[in-house]
Amino acid sequence: MKSPVTVLGLGAMGTALARAFLAAGHPTTVWNRTPGRSPELDALGAIRATTVADAIAAGPLVVVCLLVDDTVRSTLDGVDLTGRTVVNLTNSTPDQARGTAERAAAAGAQYLDGGIMAVPPMIGTPGAFIFYSGPQDVLEQHRPALEVLARPAYVGTDPGLAALYDIALLSAMYGMFGGAQHALALITSSGNPTEPFTNDFLVPWLTAMLTSLPSMARELDHGPATTADSNLSMQAAAYENLVTTAERQGVDPRLLTPMGELMQRAVDAGHGDGGLSALVGLLRTPAD
Ligand code: FVH
């Protein structure tokens, strides 16, 4: 008999989590603010609780996947969590995660914070992973159930760390998407179709450029390489053409300009012979 689990929140992600637990044979109690959401779960055996307290009473592991931190607060505040393990997979800031950990402990629960690195259809598939932070023994205790959702990636005892890692990856993703949106705007400004550009050039180019990230991380951890294949002075000089071209094509350059300013700051600070890793340090000492 698999251990019972509770899922609070049946949005797109909470529904995917509940479906994965049900598919793995876990007795799964679900609660959602708006009753009756995701009716397909009923045929899969989900047990619907009408109150949060009833849902939490149903089993030791309570997985929370709601919209934002305020929602988590208003859902859990005042509820007795004695003897429960709360795993909060709601997107949060590190400070919010730490606050939820404190409130969960005060209400009698063990707490893990999590950051889901998957979209709903990926849940239960090999490409999905979830960052966890908090007491590692709590993760180990519930690992068999949590592995059903995605590969657990434990990042440390500070409950804010999973949120930090999650936000770091989302920041990288949105930076990449922002760059891609700008590229697509340039192509549409030419009147040409975007699909061949995307499939034949954009995706292969971004994929090739991603391979430079490990050496950037190596430089950050162990010091700069002696020579850079693409030095910053060269990159900063060429970058002006990116902004000028955007303006000439009638494309708003606002997604590009901060990177150009940062490169110029790096050159001005004497990093012109180095590579892009110099920008990381500058981001931690913002300009006045
Ligand atoms: N879906 C995704 O691609 C991403 C993947 C990575 C992780 N995120 C985070 O997961 C959290 C939930 O996201 P979601 O996709 O399930 O979001 P929705 O489909 O919009 O469902 C939202 C649920 O939250 C409930 N809710 C909203 N406000 C309240 C409230 N004041 N009190 C109680 N529950 C509330 C909502 O209930 P209802 O509107 O059906 O009554 C849904 O259950 C999120 O943190 C993502 O960033 C997803």
Distance from residue 176's CA to the centre of ligand 1 (Å):
24
Please check whether residues 152 and 229 belong to one and the same domain.
no
- Model pLDDT for residues 190-204, shown as the tens digit of each residue: 999 999 999 999 999
> Looking at residue 88, which CATH number applies to its domain?
3.40.50.720
- The number of the ligand 1 atom at minimal distance from the alpha carbon of 67 is 24
Residue bearing the bigger pLDDT, 16 or 1: 16
Name the residue at shortest CA distance from atom 29 of ligand 1: 71
Beta strands in the chain (DSSP E): 5-8, 28-31, 47-48, 61-64, 85-88, 110-117, 129-133, 151-156
Cβ contact 148:19 at 8 Å: no
- Model pLDDT for residues 194-244, shown as the tens digit of each residue: 999 999 999 999 999 999 999 999 999 998 776 778 899 999 999 999 999
- pLDDT category of residue 183 using cuts at 50, 70 and 90: very high
Q: Is 37 in the pocket of ligand 1 (CB under 6 A)?
A: yes
What is the pTM assigned to this prediction? 0.95
Please check whether residues 152 and 188 belong to one and the same domain.
no
Please check whether residues 97 and 186 belong to one and the same domain.
no
Distance CA 234, CA 242 (A): 13
Average pLDDT over residues 253-271: 95
Distance CA 201, CA 256 (A): 20
Q: Does residue 79 sit within a domain? A: yes
> What range defines the domain where residue 80 resides?
5-158
pLDDT at 137 over 70: yes
* Number of domains present in the structure of the chain: 2
> Looking at residue 247, which CATH number applies to its domain?
1.10.1040.10
Instruction: Put residue 177 in one of left, alpha, beta given phi > 0 → left and psi -120 to 50 → alpha.
Output: alpha
